[in-house]
Amino acid sequence: MTHFRSDIRQRAEELVSLYPRRRSAMLPLLHLAQEQDGYLTDAGMAEVAQLTGTTPAEVRGTAAFYDMFHLEPVGRYVVGVCTNIACLLAGGEELLEHARRSLDCEVGGTTADGLFTLEETECLADCNVAPAVQVNHRYVHTTTPDQLDQLLEDLRAGRRDHDIPPHGTLIRVRRSGGLRVGATELAEERREAREAREAREAAAKEAS
Amino acid sequence: MAVLDANPIVTSRREMADSHTLARYLETGGYAGLRQALTMHPEAVAAEVDAASLLGRGGAGFPAGRKWSMLRKSPISYLVVNGDESEPATFKDHYLVERDPHQLVEGVIIAAYALQVTQAFIFLRGEFALGLERVQQAINEAYEHGALGRHILGSSFSVDLVVHPGAGAYICGEETALLEALEGKRGFPRIKPPFFPAVTGLYGEPTVVNNVETMSNLPWIVLHGGAAFAALGGGRSTGTRMFALSGRVNRPGVYEIEMVKNTFRDLIFDPELGGGIPGGHELRAFIPGGVSAPWFFPEHLDMVLGQDEVGAAGSMLGSGSIVVMDDTTCVVRAAWRITKFFSRESCGQCTPCREGSGWVERILYRLEHGGGRTEDVDLLLDLCDNISPGLNWPPQQTTICVLGPSIPSSITSAISRFRDDFYAHVHHGSCPHA
Amino acid sequence: MPEPISITLNGRTVAAQPGELLIEAAEHAGVFIPRFCYHPRMEPVGVCRMCLVEVDSPRGATLQPACFVRVSDGMAVITDSDKAKKAQDGVLEFLLANHPLDCPVCDKGGECPLQDQTLAHGSGETRFVEEKRHYIKPVAIGPLVLLDRERCIQCSRCTRFAAEVAGDAQIDFAGRGDLIEVAPSPTQPFDSVFSGNTVQICPVGALTATPYRFRARPWDLEQVESTCTACAVGCRIAVQSSENRLTRVLGLDSDAVNHGWLCDKGRFTLDAVDGNPESTDPLDPRTRLTAPLVRRDGQLVATSWGDALARAAALLRAPGPDGVGAIGGASLTNEAAYAWYQVVRDVLGSPHRDAQFGDGLDATLVQALPPATIEDAARARVVVTLAGDLREELPVLFLRLRAGLAAGRSSLIELATGPSALRSLARVVVPVAPGDAAEVVGILTDGARPSSADTTALADARALLGDGDGVVVVLGRANLLESPAIVERAALRLAARYPAARFLVALRRGNVRGALDMGLAPSWRPGRVHDAHDGGRDTLAQLAAMRQGTQGAVLLLGADVLGNVLDTAGAAEALAAAAVVAVAGHGSPTLAHADVVLPALVQHERNGTVTNLEGRVSAVVAKVGAPGSAWSDVTIAAELAVALGSALDYDTVESAAAAIERSTGYPALSVLSDGRLEGVLAASGEVSMRHVLDPIAFPGVRSTDEVGLASFAGATVAATATPEARGHIVPSLAEVAVPAREAPPVDAYAWRVLLGRRLYDHGAALAASPALAGLRAPLTLGLNPMDADRLGVGEGDEVLVRGVSRATPLAVRLDEGLPRHVVSLDGATGTIEGDEVIADVYDEGATVAQVRLETR
Ligand SMILES: Cc1cc2nc3c(=O)[nH]c(=O)nc-3n(C[C@H](O)[C@H](O)[C@H](O)COP(=O)(O)O)c2cc1C
Ligand code: SF4
Ligand code: FES
């Protein structure tokens, strides 16, 4: 019995197989766990620990380093408003304050209906459309209070479901090609090539 | 003054709405560079990059060709592309991964071929959801097209490429922290020596790390030759560069322009570029290369956009992002917000960075929000000196990585130029300009 | 040692070892560089930045962390320039910025490296006027460890210890930047058996031990250096007390043995010494015995020493020399064991004595195998384990072996009967079902003859073993429900096939090796002198003789027989049939059968020497006075000899030690007299090396005025001659007699039973320790998950375990480390139900115990 749904579990195992060492799949797997549960549950982290050969403490410790991972439940939509330098100069703090009042929700908190979580973000690398706003890590290009309110309304009404999936779903494009050509085979070849190379080098060293 | 002296190299598809698709990419000469490269000896490909004198576009400006050849002790095992782009006000890689993912993928394959590496990773900032999808799509298409996988494009070379999502931590842009994150750990920069991942990198094996923009230049360089690239720009700053312009300008955006041939004034005021400051306000200061860099002031406007020129003047071109501050800008607030960023993003290993960033941030917060004391200004400078002794640029450091010594940049810049603004804050309890 | 190089240190030219860390080279040259994250027993990480010094480089002098930079020839270093000092002061000020500065109420106050280095290097003035970080006060991150996050300076010593040294990252940093904190997983507490080490190496008061918290202030503490006897590793410890009450045990850093580490049993069972002052029931292990007892009208009642000794002498004398014997001795000092040997062998004239309980290994085999030290094992090319789970049995030996394996210095071959914490580091794992060890080793050593039972694992093992050079075999009893003959035969086969291989015999009890060396085993005389003609009954034979009426009296030497044998019912019957004189420090159920109880001193109350599993002799030192009228064993033995009409020629520990050295050459007094840390490896003549007292690395073991200057105390005792050189007879392996045992035929319905040892067992020490008693594992039935699947049961489900004459429902615990078709009785010994199951399936004459399983 796994905590991951069977389709998620299958994708998780595919992810692990992409890397030379399974711990490398940690971040993608944690994203996947959030895709299933919306945030990182204890059971989800335990399964990631098992898949990556780490301890639950290491999974939690690693996850807690990164802003995108949530150890507590968050809203269906995580709204991030940037207030870093370029956005600050374009009114980022004022837009964040507007969002706070519109949503009636503290920064870092979640609305009573569980729909929205509001965050103050660092630079979102969209400084030419400042202040930058993301919802579930999708750029929404809403730089004015009015645009932001419209967006919130659209989200509530489900009018953005096509381009803004629920929080946690990061990459909707599945890897296809890599698995088909056999990452494991390549890894095997790589290993052989490396061993041959090392043998050569050792021989060369021996000779000199 | 011609702003675009050369045809763009990495933003040539900027007018096309479907620039991210394979069809459009192939139609516009895509994968021709790779095909060309595969007819060459790998060393010859590397030699072209060396001849191009392509400086790394991630911030440190180290020549890519040299990194590939001179720093390594043994054959490279892994190629890792740095697409973590989190330096505030930097948004060129964001543009490249969303708008021209195939160009990036092609560049990566070319580099892998030149280095004879069979496993490459693109580490992409986690917040780039669309970018992640576009790059994954491009990788899938490249596999289908035969440009990735076994015996690519009929050659004997095989390579696998994996896109690895980050998860929200600026420090993972630092290349050794990035490798830790790629190993599934928290992004703690590794202590140096060894100074370069080319010596010990991913899983302890020789690894080359290059920036997205650096990689995106490779198809062009292979097709046109390193010499053609080196013919652009001047001095050590060859080719074109993407500059991300933001802040108090009329036309913020990414502009690819030839290196050295243009000045900061061109970039900020040229009507085809920044278009000047809104409302005719006066320039107070600008950041020439990401918030880690010390600030420049009006007297620097006529300096050319060249790595060595900016370096000689005591700052850096860094990640190529320019932030404009005008006379409506409160510099104390700007310095505070930048410092808050560093405090939030310090990884937490080194005491001076972890504790120092939080301390100076809180002092700046007080100054900005009406609790400042006169002595705070000199205290700030002394604390900064304890993080980066001497307060010079390039900085000395008491920390493992250079996030630490980046903390003082904005503070010392603001104080050195606008010390009176700080005292005014103390006396008014808030910004007198706002 | 390689050629030294020279570096310039503050203008002075000093010698250094190539590749040495700068911080160490400076220290050897007498220059102390302040530090926090650096720990000499772990890899440097250079994160606290306290040790910044100026190092000359082509780009001019730069600030470098001395704990990470390695010296090179001609390197110029300045540790005391204005620049270096400002950087160091700056780091210290940053560290203190958010620190609560609550030294007066902090457990670490007075022995805190942060406090000490602040006093030594800090400016005293604070420029920090901001709000400090605040956390909810201490959180229990595990059963024994509390975390006070406000005090943490993020040095990562604890997390690195867990991951790097203990190999189990149960705690890790969580968060980022100045919000970074040490955290366990939400689902699993920090319950490592090594958790106390993190408390000891924490350079501030962030981690504190639940049992010690607020018990004492460092400046009230007195300490002695001693040896832990919780198991046979013999870790070096500092024992601390306040006003004649034991307060704390800390690990000392000994190169040869424990590198400063301790297990939590050794560290925290201290409270079992005093037991429960309320308890007076002699059957209760929490009762500290303080007066002689004799049985009157069926009751044990207090009496005078004179009366008790007279009664004891009469009881022991009555059955004649062949009708009396002694059991126990592994909890004694060497001096006590020697004295008791003389009472039994010379005064009573009996050849029957044994310090083991049938759960050890043949003493002759133990002494005859070519010996290896812990250090040998930690540096061996190949380590072979034919033993139980070392982390459970001999925890610090596990740490030492693990370090070599994790660093890739050694390769591990596990001849694996059960789960093992070393498994993930093993190169080759050869599964060995209970009862099959000798056969499997036979196939391994007979590699030339192809056999259908030969496996790739065996072939890999054979290749790795080569000619046996650089091989150390760690030999123990993985399965108590298997005849010792199986593993003994396996060991003989290995020794015969690989003469170059050496053996570290992993007997577990505290001073069992010392007791054997002092002649408390059939055919052995003090000083490791083999006397094949002496014979004598071992423990199990004595119990049988008591049941049959041929042995009328027994002397129990600190031996809780019922708590140690597997056949408790048979032992109870035997004790009931004989006169029992018990020398004991604590109560135990065994005393239900005692006729006379003579109260003895226990650990931390007595002086003497002990010998660890590798044969190293070191001192145990009294820290607190004797309770009531308890005497030292040496005194009791001497007085009993007098009562028996023939005085020994010593009556104190010191004179007994002198007698041992005089008559056997075995080192005792020379170790004792200095009262310090010397040890002598009597087995091979090797001498122990330095031990290190570094109050920054291991805070709390030294007063604060000597901060930072590591001392190299404890000069070594001159190597004593090897036993051979002293003319002692070392038995040849040919003399080792091992009874033939056949493995039972394979039966599809029978499950072979594995009974391993757990660190937190149901024995007396744990039962009497409030800190640890709650950590004992409940009785469960271990099953390989695949077997469980086949049976259709899961974790926690009940299975009926059918033995010879009873069926017991037990809860299933899934255990991937178990071989297929084997069940383990985990946590069984000492529990009432477990003892009944064991007694039911255990048959001394059988090769291995078997049960049947029924699911409902
Ligand atoms: C704190 C810090 C953040 C960095 N962030 C980035 C980044 O987001 N992207 C990047 O390419 N390089 C970043 N770098 C620079 C990288 O360490 C590295 O020099 C670069 O990726 C090498 O690629 P290049 O040679 O192609 O420029 C950062 C460095 C530091 C110290
Ligand atoms: S300087 Fe800061 S970010 Fe860099 S390693 Fe040290 S603590 Fe981490
Ligand atoms: S950085 Fe050297 S002791 Fe911490």
* C218-265 per-position pLDDT tens digit: 777 888 888 999 999 999 888 888 888 999 999 988 888 899 999 999
Minimum Cα–Cα distance from A57: chain C residue: C185
- What is the ipTM metric for this complex? 0.95
Residue C298 is predicted with a pLDDT of 95
CA C526 / ligand 2 centre spacing (Å): 61
Nearest Cα of chain A lies from the Cα of B167 at a distance, in angstroms, of 5
The percentage of residues in chain A with a pLDDT greater than 90, rounded to a whole number, is: 83
Indicate which atom in ligand 2 lies nearest the CA of residue B401: 4
Task: Compute CA distances C367 → B403, C393, C728, whole Å.
Answer: 61, 20, 12
Q: Which residues, other chains included, contact A1 with Cβ-Cβ below 8 Å and sequence gap of 6+?
A: none
Q: Whose CA is nearest to atom 6 of ligand 2?
A: B350
Q: Whose CA is nearest to atom 8 of ligand 2?
A: B347
The DSSP H or E segment spanning B377 is helix B375-387
Q: What is the largest CA-CA distance in chain C?
A: 91
Please report, for chain B, the start and end positions of each structural domain, with discontinuous segments joined by +.
22-230, 233-326, 331-428
Torsion of CA C543, C546, C547, C549, to 10 degrees: 160
Please, what is the end-to-end C-alpha distance for chain A in angstroms?
Answer: 57
Taking the CA of C24 as reference, the closest ligand is 3
CA pseudo-torsion sign B205, B211, B216, B222: negative
Q: Which fold has domain B331-428?
A: de novo design (two linked rop proteins) (1.20.1440)
Sequential DSSP letters for B325-362: EETT--HHHHHHHHHHHHHHH--S-SHHHHHHHHHHHH
- A45 interfaces chain C, CB cutoff of 8 Å: yes
pLDDT at C213 over 60: yes
| C67 close to C37: Cβ distance less than 8 angstroms | yes
Residue C689 is predicted with a pLDDT of 40
- B208 interfaces chain A, CB cutoff of 8 Å: no
- What is the rounded CA–CA span in Å between residue C310 and residue C209? 46
A57 to C173: CB separation less than 8 angstroms, yes or no: no
Q: Which residues, other chains included, contact B373 with Cβ-Cβ below 8 Å and sequence gap of 6+?
A: B366, B426
| Tokens standing for residue B381 | 């400078």
Tokens 């703690």 correspond to B188
- B369 interfaces chain C, CB cutoff of 8 Å: no
Residue C730 is predicted with a pLDDT of 56
Is any atom of ligand 1 closer than 6 Å to the C-beta of B173?
yes
Q: How many CB pairs lie under 8 A apart between chains A and B?
A: 209
* Residue type present at position C272: A
Residue C706 is predicted with a pLDDT of 27
The DSSP H or E segment spanning B141 is helix B129-145
Across the interface, of A46, A49, A61, the residue whose CB is closest to C174 is A61
Please report, for chain A, the start and end positions of each structural domain, with discontinuous segments joined by +.
6-63, 77-156, 177-208
**The CATH classification of domain B233-326, taken from the options 3.30.70.3270, 3.20.20.140, 3.10.20.600, 2.170.120.40:** 3.10.20.600
A66 to B150: CB separation less than 8 angstroms, yes or no: no
Between strands B321-326 and B283-287, the pairing is antiparallel
| Tokens standing for residue C229 | 């006897």
Indicate which atom in ligand 1 lies nearest the CA of residue B175: 17
Minimum Cα–Cα distance from B189: chain C residue: C47
Q: Sorting pLDDT into bands at 50, 70 and 90, what band is A191?
A: low
| Tokens standing for residue C563 | 């708590």
- What is the rounded CA–CA span in Å between residue C838 and residue C825? 9
**Set of chain B residues whose Cβ sits within 8 Å of the Cβ of C63:** 389, 396-398
- What is the rounded CA–CA span in Å between residue A167 and residue A151? 16
Q: Which CATH architecture has domain A77-156?
A: 3-Layer(aba) Sandwich (3.40)
- A60 interfaces chain C, CB cutoff of 8 Å: yes
- What is the rounded CA–CA span in Å between residue B343 and residue B341? 5
Across the interface, of A46, A57, A66, the residue whose CB is closest to C171 is A57
Stated pTM of the model: 0.94
Is any atom of ligand 1 closer than 6 Å to the C-beta of B58?
yes
- What is the rounded CA–CA span in Å between residue C193 and residue C699? 20
CA B209 / ligand 1 centre spacing (Å): 9
**Set of chain A residues whose Cβ sits within 8 Å of the Cβ of C189:** none
* B377-420 per-position pLDDT tens digit: 999 999 999 999 999 999 999 999 999 999 999 999 999 999 99
* B295-346 per-position pLDDT tens digit: 999 999 999 999 999 999 999 999 999 999 999 999 999 999 999 999 999 9
* Domains B233-326 and B331-428 equal at CATH topology level: no
C379 by Cβ neighbours in 10 Å (0-12 / 13-18 / 19+) ranks as: middle
User: Which of B354, B361, B369, B375 is the best mutation test for C, with the most CBs of C within 10 A?
Assistant: B354
* Residue type present at position A39: Y
- What is the rounded CA–CA span in Å between residue C8 and residue C31? 12
Task: Compute CA distances C161 → C154, C155, C168, C194, C196, whole Å.
Answer: 13, 11, 9, 9, 11
**Set of chain B residues whose Cβ sits within 8 Å of the Cβ of A61:** 186
Between strands B78-83 and B207-211, the pairing is parallel
Q: Whose CA is nearest to atom 11 of ligand 1?
A: B58
| Tokens standing for residue C124 | 């005293």
Indicate which atom in ligand 1 lies nearest the CA of residue B403: 1
- Which of B55, B125, B174 to mutate for ligand 1's pocket (most ligand atoms within 8 Å of CB)? B174
B181 to A128: CB separation less than 8 angstroms, yes or no: no
**The CATH classification of domain A6-63, taken from the options 1.10.150.120, 1.25.40.390, 3.30.530.20, 1.10.10.1590:** 1.10.10.1590
Superfamily of domain B22-230: NADH-ubiquinone oxidoreductase 51kDa subunit (3.40.50.11540)
* B36-62 per-position pLDDT tens digit: 999 999 999 999 999 999 999 999 999
User: Using H for helix, E for strand and C for coil, what is the string for B13-31?
Assistant: CCCCCCCCCHHHHHHCCCC
Residue C830 is predicted with a pLDDT of 78
| B180 close to B190: Cβ distance less than 8 angstroms | yes
Helices in C47-161 by DSSP H: which ranges? 82-97, 113-121, 157-160
Q: Single out the residue of B48, B144, B166 nearest to residue B97, CA to CA.
A: B166
Q: Single out the residue of B173, B322, B344 nearest to residue A85, CA to CA.
A: B322
- What is the rounded CA–CA span in Å between residue C700 and residue C207? 13
On the CB side of C199, CA atoms within 13 Å amount to: 32
Nearest Cα of chain A lies from the Cα of C96 at a distance, in angstroms, of 24
- What is the rounded CA–CA span in Å between residue B89 and residue C771? 56
- Which of C24, C50, C69, C121 to mutate for ligand 3's pocket (most ligand atoms within 8 Å of CB)? C50
Q: Which of B40-44, C326-330, C817-821 shows the lowest per-residue confidence on average (mean pLDDT)? A: C817-821
Q: Single out the residue of C350, C353, C354 nearest to residue C319, CA to CA.
A: C350
Residue C673 is predicted with a pLDDT of 62
Indicate which atom in ligand 2 lies nearest the CA of residue B345: 3
Q: How many CB atoms lie within 10 A of CB B298?
A: 13
- Long-range CB contacts for residues C104-108, cutoff 8 Å, separation at least 24: C106/C151, C106/C205, C107/C205, C107/C208, C107/C212, C107/C213, C107/C214, C108/C151, C108/C202, C108/C204, C108/C205, C108/C208, C108/C699
The percentage of residues in chain C with a pLDDT greater than 70, rounded to a whole number, is: 92
The C-side interface with B (CB below 8 A) comprises 45-50, 52, 62-63, 65, 68, 83, 86-87, 89-91, 93-95, 97-98, 127-128, 130-131, 153-154, 156, 173, 175-180
Task: Compute CA distances A200 → A196, B77, C817, whole Å.
Answer: 6, 16, 39
CA C834 to chain centroid:
24
Across the interface, of A46, A57, A65, the residue whose CB is closest to C170 is A57
Q: Nearest 5°: phi and psi at B251?
A: -125, 70
pLDDT at C675 over 70: no
Torsion of CA B240, B244, B249, B251, to 10 degrees: 70
Q: Hey, which residues does C76 pair with through a beta bridge?
A: C8
CA B315 / ligand 3 centre spacing (Å): 30
- What is the rounded CA–CA span in Å between residue C385 and residue C408? 17
Residue C731 is predicted with a pLDDT of 64
* C609-660 per-position pLDDT tens digit: 999 998 888 888 888 998 899 999 999 999 999 999 999 999 999 999 999 9
Sequential DSSP letters for B192-246: SSS--TTTS-GGGS-EEEEEHHHHHTHHHHHHH-HHHHHHSEETTEESEEEEEEE
Average pLDDT over residues C479-504: 95
Across chain C, mean pLDDT equals: 89
Please report all neighbours of A, defined by 3+ CB atom pairs within 8 A: B, C
Q: Sorting pLDDT into bands at 50, 70 and 90, what band is A201?
A: low
The percentage of residues in chain B with a pLDDT greater than 70, rounded to a whole number, is: 98
Across the interface, of B354, B398, B400, the residue whose CB is closest to C177 is B354
Is any atom of ligand 3 closer than 6 Å to the C-beta of C817?
no
Taking the CA of B170 as reference, the closest ligand is 1
DSSP reduced 3-state for C151: helix
Residue B434 is predicted with a pLDDT of 64
Across the interface, of A45, A46, A55, the residue whose CB is closest to C168 is A55
Residue C1 is predicted with a pLDDT of 66
**Set of chain A residues whose Cβ sits within 8 Å of the Cβ of C173:** 61, 65
CA B17 to chain centroid:
25
Residue A187 is predicted with a pLDDT of 58
DSSP reduced 3-state for A7: helix
Is any atom of ligand 2 closer than 6 Å to the C-beta of B177?
no
CA B255 / ligand 3 centre spacing (Å): 44
